């Protein structure tokens, strides 16, 4: 039986999101031929912390990447459990084909993963309205802190053009991409 993790979704071709995978989800995840699993959690996946997930990844030659994030709080005033440097690290993995197919998850598949996807959408020139409409599909609510975090997202991103996922800037010219209003994009043809 194929049972996806809670809040599982395909974000883009070869990029999947959801909640922390459990043993019941392993056959489904195996069907995706994953190269990378990114855990946006307080603790990394190790043989001691989660031997089943660690063994699953090892058997399937899946690289486990841990980007430390705090556990999401509850309620309308919950804080943002990660920083922009963590988002930039996650995006660097997501936008390069050498890591695809990739599964990105937080503990419950809600706020933390949604913040990463929202910042990706900002990189893709989505409007705030469409970003937040997608965001609320995976969380019980979107807080002012979440909105401010996404709207304030800035940073420098290095894109290796020969390893860039095909869907990142479909139909956009290099002139448009290089003049992103909030994100400094450095493209190389390594």
Q: What separation in angstroms does the CA of 142 have from each of 9, 12, 15, 179?
A: 19, 22, 23, 29
Buried b (16+ CB within 10 A) or exposed e, 124-134: beeeeeebbeb
Catalytic annotation, residues: 106
What end-to-end distance do the CA atoms of the chain give, in Å?
A: 42
- 158: enclosing H helix or E strand: strand 155-160
């Amino acid at each position: 039986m194929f049972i996806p993790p809670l809040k599982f979704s395909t974000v883009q071709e070869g990029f999947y999101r959801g909640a922390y995978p459990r043993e019941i989800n392993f056959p489904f995840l195996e069907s995706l031929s994953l190269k990378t699993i990114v855990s946006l959690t307080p603790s990394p996946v190790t043989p001691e912390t989660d031997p089943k997930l660690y063994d699953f990844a090892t058997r399937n030659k899946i690289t486990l990447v841990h980007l430390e994030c705090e556990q999401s709080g509850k309620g309308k005033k919950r804080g943002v459990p990660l920083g922009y440097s963590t988002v930039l690290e996650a995006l660097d993995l997501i936008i390069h084909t050498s890591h695809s197919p990739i599964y990105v998850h937080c503990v419950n598949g809600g706020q933390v993963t949604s913040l990463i996807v929202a910042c990706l959408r900002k990189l893709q020139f989505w409007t705030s309205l469409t970003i937040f409409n997608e965001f609320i599909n995976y969380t019980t609510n979107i807080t002012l802190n979440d909105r401010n975090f996404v709207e304030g997202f800035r940073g420098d991103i290095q894109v290796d053009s020969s390893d860039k996922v095909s869907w990142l800037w479909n139909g956009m010219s290099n002139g448009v991409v290089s003049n992103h209003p909030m994100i400094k994009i450095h493209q190389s043809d390594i």
